[in-house]
Amino acid sequence: MSDTAKPVLSFSLDGKDLPFTPGETILQAATRAGRYIPHLCWHPDFVAHGSCRLCSVKLNGRLVSACTQLASAGLEVESDTDEINAQRKTLLQMLFVEGNHFCPSCEKSGHCLLQATAYQIGMEGPHFEEFYPDRPVDASHPDILLDLNRCILCELCVRASRELDGKNVFAIGGHGIASHLLVNSVSGRLADTDMSLQDRAATICPVGVILPKRRGFAVPIGQRRFDLQPLAQHAPEDGS
């Protein structure tokens, strides 16, 4: 006797049915199906915490984070709308002015998730006054450069170092607009930690904060990951 086929669970994303498995979030199900929902702080290796809010979607008339909202049968989810994309543009614009993101001179250009997302969403410019924060560049480590001017506080390096590397090299300090990335050493310098290029934290940064030394521009601008293929066509990013 053959087994009875289990019904396919699905919800609606922008008017199209999207299958999911129990326990998946909206973003997980969409990503697995190749449906793009903008995001910055979410990564498949970690439990989502919804800090960047870029993946916000509308569910029953209210905004929820797609990375934390569990999928369930019959949901009507809106993501790719003029209203929601306008809000995402504003969030991106604020991220650009809160840090120092000079894309043409940045080694991460073409590999940067923030830059690629801005292109994907169609962000024309920051439209806000630049903060130009004075943040340190830590070149003390023999193999790794740490440029805190570009940090977007996604906490991926914090979580990777703690949960995957078992080293707890990074932390977030301060509150509100004064929040910033910290190095967990007495001196506050990266050289006084046990971080190495082999650590997951060394490659997971979605922007240009954590960079390997002596490898700058090994891949020419124009031939990089997001130069060759739009963000929405990529698999979940691995920070490389």
Residues 101, 76: one domain?
no
Residues 67, 171: one domain?
no
Residues 70, 129: one domain?
no
Question: Taking the model in full, what pTM does it have?
Answer: 0.91
- Which of residues 31, 48, 80 is at a domain's end? 80
pLDDT 10s digit of each residue in the chain, 240 long?
445 556 789 999 999 999 999 999 999 999 999 999 999 999 999 999 888 999 999 998 899 999 999 999 999 999 999 999 999 999 999 999 999 999 988 999 999 999 999 999 999 888 888 888 888 899 999 999 999 999 999 999 999 999 999 999 999 999 988 899 999 999 999 999 999 999 999 999 999 999 999 998 889 988 999 999 888 877 554 443
Domain assignment present for residue 150? The answer is: yes
Residues 65, 106: one domain?
no
Domain assignment present for residue 3? The answer is: no
Residue 21 sits in which domain range?
10-80
DSSP string of the chain, one letter each residue: -PPPPPPPPEEEETTEEEE--TT-BHHHHHHHTT-----SS--TTS-----S-TTEEEETTEEEETTTSBP-TT-EEE-SSHHHHHHHHHHHHHHHHHTT--GGG-TTTTT-HHHHHHHHHT-----S--------EE--SSSEEEEGGG-----HHHHIIIIIIS---EEEESSGGG-EEEE-SSS--GGGS---TTSGGGT--SSSSEEETT-TTSSPTTSSHHHHS-GGGSPSP---
How many domains, the chain? 2
